[in-house]
Structure 1
Amino acid sequence: MKINVLLFGSLTEIIGQSSISLSADKITDVHQLHAYLLKQYPALSAKTFKYAVNQDLVDTDHTLQEGDEVALLPPFSGG
């Protein structure tokens, strides 16, 4: 399964790019994706962020599908 992950703000600095493409058959939901990302990029564990799948905020039990676009959204402020 291929998943596109978009990163914003300080998360981009941690990973070193604004997007990554994952091919992982064992990642079937957001919880598994979260565990995978923390294993690959341990510095993410110090950050707070939410997940959006195809531009909708989701919980970690959300099932992922082939070609989903997953965004990691850190807190942000505006004015």
Structure 2
Amino acid sequence: MHLKAFGMIAEKIGTAELELENPGTLAALGETLRGRFPDLQSAKFGFAINKKLLQGDAEIPAGAEVALLPPFSGG
């Protein structure tokens, strides 16, 4: 699985792109990332799978590109 990180999330993990084994779901990915990168313990971030914003515990398809998105506001 290809992971892209943006903004403060990329800063906290020390890279903008990373290859990881697919953990199956977004919830499992969040746990994996927080375990591997302790600076993410208190960070809030969202997910996009193949350029679609998702919430909850969505399944990550094989070969997916997952983006970690910092909180953002618009108006």
**Structure 1 residue 33 corresponds to structure 2 residue 29:** yes
Q: Is the 8 A contact 1:51 1:70 kept in 2?
A: yes
Residue 14 of structure 1 corresponds to 12
Q: Is the 8 A contact 1:29 1:60 kept in 2?
A: no
Q: Distance in 1 between matches of 2:17 and 2:54?
A: 19
The two structures, once aligned, show a CA RMSD in angstroms of 1.6
* 2:13 counterpart letter in structure 1: I
Displaced runs of 4+ in structure 1, greater than 6 A? none
Q: How many residues align?
A: 75
Q: Distance in 2 between matches of 1:57 and 1:64?
A: 12
* 1:11 counterpart letter in structure 2: I
Percent of aligned positions that are identical:
36
**Structure 1 residue 76 corresponds to structure 2 residue 39:** no
Residue 51 of structure 2 corresponds to 55
Task: Give 5+ residue unaligned stretches, structure 2.
Answer: none
Task: Give 5+ residue unaligned stretches, structure 1.
Answer: none
Deviation, structure 1 residue 58: 1.0
Q: TM-score, normalised by structure 2?
A: 0.88
Q: TM-score, normalised by structure 1?
A: 0.84
